[in-house]
Amino acid sequence: MASRRLPSDVRIVNVAGEALPAVLVEETFARADGLQAMFNLYGPSEDTTYSTFTPVEPGAPPLIGKAVSNSRVFILDACGMPAPQGVPGEIFIAGAGLARGYWDRPELTAERFVPDSLSREPGARMYRTGDLGRWTASGDIEYLGRLDHQVKIRGHRIELGEIEACSSGTNRSRRPSSSRARRPRVTSGSPPMSSSRRRVAATIQCRSCART
């Protein structure tokens, strides 16, 4: 992107796979003479790739927007209750695009695909993304990072714990290949969560559960 311009007939650019930095938005518009719109797409493969979208513009912090048609997105606290506007919480996704689960991984499926307590439909489920977000005043979602140490490299999930297990030479080193082979790739950006965000997550849990 830094060394060449986009073709003059490009009118719309969709970006996904990792967290969208503001500088990339600015560079894209600066190198595309005919560009009319740029969209940020967010969502894991567990929800058929894209779950939210929003147009982005230079000079504004990139958000991940609102849910696409036939999808529902929630931001819940540690007790499973909807987080108020501006309060960080975990992003959950439900709707028609939700996968059945992980192939031959019933334990992981049960951990990530949980009952949808906010739906009246019997057997409804939602997927817990492990992503941290919050609602803005406009009704869009701001992506804040991960609740764990997962990172993304060129759109692929990288579990730092698995790398540590391999380097330590323990029996756990056999787990990463099985996990990656059976776990779908995702398109959402996943930078490691900073210590300040971990403290925020801990504060959410303490305060929200105290209310109940």
pLDDT (tens digit, 9 = 90+) per residue, 95-133?
999 999 999 999 999 999 999 999 999 999 999 999 999
Nearest to 23 by CA among 58, 64, 53, 63: 58
pTM of the model: 0.71
Angle at 154 between CA 151 and CA 160, to 5 degrees: 25
Token code pair at residue 5: 């311009």
Please tell me the distance from the alpha carbon of residue 97 to that of residue 22, in angstroms, as a whole number.
29
Convert the pLDDT of each residue in 130-184 to its tens digit: 999 999 999 999 999 998 765 656 556 565 655 666 666 655 444 444 334 344 4
Higher confidence at residue 18 or residue 196?
A: 18
Convert the pLDDT of each residue in 28-73 to its tens digit: 999 988 899 999 999 999 998 899 999 999 999 999 999 999 999 9
**Buried-state track 93-124, b at ≥16 Cβ within 10 A, e below 16:** bbbebbbebbeeeeeebeebbeebeeeeeeee
Contact at 8 Å (CB) between 98 and 47? yes
Token code pair at residue 212: 């109940």
